[in-house]
Amino acid sequence: MLNVEPSSLQRATAQAPHLQEPKVVAKDVSVYYGEKRALFDVSVNIPDRGVMAFIGPSGCGKSTFLRCINRMNDTIPICRVTGKITIENEDIYDPSLDVVQLRARVGMVFQKPNPFPKSIYENVAYGPRIHGLSSSKAELDEIVQKSLERAALWKEVKDRLNDPGTGLSGGQQQRLCIARAVAVNPEVILMDEPCSALDPIATAKIEELIDELKQNFCIIIVTHSMQQAARVSQRTAFFHLGVIVEEGNTEEIFQNPTDKRTQDYITGRFG
Amino acid sequence: MAVETAPMTPDSALSASRKNEAIRARIKRRYSAERRFRAYGIAAILFGLAFLVALFSTIFARGYTAFQQSTFTLSVVLDQAAFGSSAPTPSELRMADYTKIANRAIQQALGVDPNNKADARAAADLLSQNADTQIRKIVTADPSLVGQTVKVDVLAHGNVDSLLKGQFDRSVAESRRKLSDKQLGWLDRAIESGILTKKFNTGLFTYGASSKPETAGVGVALVGSLYMMTIVLLVAVPLGVAAAVYLEEFAPKNFITDTIEVNINNLAAVPSIVFGLLGLAIFINFMGIPRSASLVGGLVLALMTLPTIIIATRAAVSAVPPSIREAALGVGASKMQSITHHVLPLAVPGILTGTIIGLAKALGETAPLLMIGMVAFVVEYPSTPMDAATALPVQIYMWATAAERGFVERTAGATLILLAFLVVMNVTAVILRRRYERRW
Ligand SMILES: Nc1ncnc2c1ncn2[C@@H]1O[C@H](COP(=O)(O)OP(=O)(O)OP(=O)(O)O)[C@@H](O)[C@H]1O
Ligand SMILES: [Mg+2]
């Protein structure tokens, strides 16, 4: 059995997500890359103001599913998505829905920190600027500061906002990317293995940050670290070969997995 | 290298030492192979450099004299009688016999009796035929000079110029020489007294075509080349960048775009003269743009440069990491915004380099311009791109086929000017690339 500290489990239980009103609802989502099918009728409800973790062995379709939620898969010509995904009962694959609008509502943090090769300030200000979220320089300054504070980066960079974002350390860069995503005030934040390129200290900082952010956002995180999933998430879905094998409250998944495959995966027998 | 893991029995120790020897021998061979390869590389580079040095030094040795021109500094008497009145009308100013004025001045300067017909003629022959024009220009610019004596720099004849540049052989029999003994005597005295000197040849940069080397320059060609480069920039860069961005970012990957891609690469390899033929057929015969106009030349060169710019831009755009695009899309930028805000700025150094290299290629291009009649004898500066003009490399080509000694040095001199432009452009490309290069 996985070694999960009881404290984090208790915390997760204490803030049990209200599943009555899920933020994101996926129904029978299938994804094809050309002829190849990567997801098989995936259905899942994702609660608001909480963290949902996707775990599973490599190549099982976690990233693919995550990228369906902000329609990032649209940028892959051979990719085809069927099924239905709604955010607050709004079908995001409705032809009348604007993808650009959607991506302002659903922010994304990528596996490798990818700040723009511009200043720290510009990195954060870019989103608000293109969406016209501020009417003055002062307002924009405020958004930038608030976003950096939310990403727990403000103290470290407040004196060098004009330095290039690419000059920060890996962990700082990733927090900058989180600040950039937060700056447009999204409803959902998708994180695809946000800590896989970071050392344990930077990882701890990001996890702390995720814990903070879940007060205001619906966070979906893909991770390969079971400890991380247990530490930060309230609900967990286990993906295997393109299907969700098991999905539920995190402590249940980790302590009493019902499916043999889940059991094997979280005890490290395969993956 | 295999690692020996078996226990060291005496037997295996022996085989191990033998193995070590083999390994050492192989390592030695590998190192010597590397050394040989380096030597070949250095030899190849030295070989190339030697050719380059030889090329530049011969051109320079031949061409540097073109930047100086022999000039008489004469006291020119602007006698009122030559103009008809003390306050001549503009037409009187224009019509005055400046040849006579110039001849008088040179005769006086050399101490030749103007009444001795043969001597007077021989002295006058030492001046450039352009001398009258030079004096006229000064007088028409300032009519108050009439009635005064002014110091004027007047070009010497091409033969005199050859003499001053040490290209004249005095040992040839007088009857077969271009300058007689008497003329040589006058000239030696003139040099001694300092009225005949070599001055910096501004005329090389300002004059247009001429049959006399001393008044031939690359002025018209420079203006023509400038017009054409401007047209290339205005036409090829926007078209090329737009085409490249569309192909790289928007175009669906299918048979049609594949064909287009292959053809663009082929176009870059099409001989330039073919573009000249195309220009002749389309721009001159079909669209009716006048022959020899720099507009036609510019359009032809733009077509020729287009593939270079497209290929360079595509390479630069595709070198921008996809993570940057995803980041932009991820915060809700539209595809167009992700390109204009992030991809293009990052691709700028590559685009600039491609553009400048394409421009440099276009600047040195001759063959297509011959096809569209830019090999013309143009004296007047073209005031618009619709006027007849020549281009730098074409001017070099035309001078290279002229016989006079003065044109030989001008050919090399104009080549030096062209090379200077090319070097400046390439250095600019390198500097821009360094300056804007960004890492991510
Ligand atoms: N752009 C693509 N084109 C074709 N096939 C793809 C593409 N992206 C993913 N796939 C395929 O879809 C399947 C799921 O991939 P996905 O990236 O979603 O896996 P994952 O669970 O995120 O794996 P990992 O944990 O290694 O990131 C894989 O079999 C993969 O080969
Ligand atoms: Mg993945």
Q: How far apart are CA B431 and CA B437, in angstroms?
A: 10
* Boundary-marking domain end, from B139, B168, B201: B201
Q: Which two tokens stand for residue B32?
A: 């010597």
Residue written as tokens 């078996």?
B6
Better-scored residue on pLDDT, A223 or B167: A223
B319, B347, B351 from B237: Cα distances, Å: 19, 14, 9
Q: Note the ipTM here.
A: 0.85
B123 and B197 inside one domain: yes
Question: Does B46 map to a domain?
Answer: no
B271 and B385 inside one domain: yes
Model confidence band, residue B404 (pLDDT cutoffs 50, 70, 90): confident
Question: Does B418 map to a domain?
Answer: yes
DSSP string, B285-298: IIT-PPTTBHHHHH
B347 and B426 inside one domain: yes
Please, which residues 65-104 of chain A have a Cβ atom closer than 8 Å to chain B?
Answer: 70, 72, 75, 77, 100-104
Which residue in the set A116, A131, A180 is minimally distant from B324, CB to CB?
Answer: A116
Question: Does B48 map to a domain?
Answer: no
How much is the average pLDDT of B409-417? 92
B330 and A166 within 8 Å at the Cβ level: the answer is no
Full domain range(s) for residue B161? 67-201
**CA proximity to B413, closest of B382, B389, B391, B392:** B392
Residue nearest to atom 5 of ligand 1 (CA): A33
Question: Does B182 map to a domain?
Answer: yes
B360 and B290 inside one domain: yes
Burial code (b: 16+ CB inside 10 Å, e: under 16) for A112-136 equals bbbbbbbbbbbbbbbbbbbbebbee
Residue nearest to atom 1 of ligand 1 (CA): A76
Model confidence band, residue B7 (pLDDT cutoffs 50, 70, 90): low
Residue B46 has pLDDT above 90, yes or no: yes
B138 and B270 inside one domain: no
B84, B86, B101, B107 from B147: Cα distances, Å: 11, 7, 12, 19
Report the run of H or E that residue A5 belongs to, with start and end: none
Span B111-132, pLDDT tens digits:
888 888 888 899 889 999 888 8
Residue A18 has pLDDT above 80, yes or no: no
Minimal Cα–Cα distance from A155 to chain B, Å? 24
Q: How far apart are CA B60 and CA B54, in angstroms?
A: 10
Q: Which two tokens stand for residue B421?
A: 């432009």
Question: Does B410 map to a domain?
Answer: yes
Question: Does B40 map to a domain?
Answer: no
B243 and B347 inside one domain: yes
Residue nearest to atom 4 of ligand 1 (CA): A33
DSSP string, B136-157: HHHHHH-GGGTTSEEEEEEEBP
The residue type found at B194 is: G
Span A182-195, pLDDT tens digits:
999 999 999 999 98
Burial code (b: 16+ CB inside 10 Å, e: under 16) for A222-246 equals bbebbbbbbbbbbbbbbbbebbbbb
Size of interface A-B (CB pairs under 8 A): 66
Question: Does B332 map to a domain?
Answer: yes
B404 and B277 inside one domain: yes
Span A82-100, pLDDT tens digits:
999 999 999 999 999 999 8
A92, A140, B221, B371, B374 from B397: Cα distances, Å: 67, 61, 12, 13, 11
* Boundary-marking domain end, from B167, B201, B235: B201
Question: Does B140 map to a domain?
Answer: yes
Report the run of H or E that residue B77 belongs to, with start and end: strand B68-77
Percent of chain B beyond pLDDT 90? 46
B267 and B163 inside one domain: no
Span A238-271, pLDDT tens digits:
999 999 999 999 999 999 899 999 998 988 776 4
Residue A72 Cβ < 6 Å to ligand 1: no
Span B217-256, pLDDT tens digits:
999 999 999 999 999 999 999 999 999 999 999 988 889 9
A104 and B438 within 8 Å at the Cβ level: the answer is no
Report the run of H or E that residue A90 belongs to, with start and end: strand A90-91
A39, A112, A210, A228, B48 from A56: Cα distances, Å: 13, 19, 20, 13, 59
B256 and B155 inside one domain: no
CA closest to B254 among chain A residues: A77
* Domain parsing of chain A, residue ranges: 6-266
How much is the average pLDDT of B208-220? 88
How much is the average pLDDT of A100-110? 92
**B324 contacts on A by Cβ (under 8 Å):** 114, 116-117
Overall domain count for chain B: 2
Span B144-153, pLDDT tens digits:
888 888 898 9
**From the CA atom positions of chain B, what is the Rg in Å?**
33
Ligand with minimal distance to A32 CA: 1
A104, A106, A230, A261, B333 from A93: Cα distances, Å: 15, 14, 31, 32, 18
Q: Which two tokens stand for residue A261?
A: 């495959």
Q: How far apart are CA B415 and CA B64, in angstroms?
A: 10
B291 and B358 inside one domain: yes
Residue nearest to atom 29 of ligand 1 (CA): A59
The CATH number of the domain where B279 resides is what?
Answer: 1.10.3720.10
What's residue A68's pLDDT? 94
* CATH class of domain segment(s) A6-266: alpha beta
B158 and B282 inside one domain: no
Q: What is the whole-number distance in angstroms between the Cα of residue A120 and the centre of ligand 2?
A: 27
B168 and B282 inside one domain: no
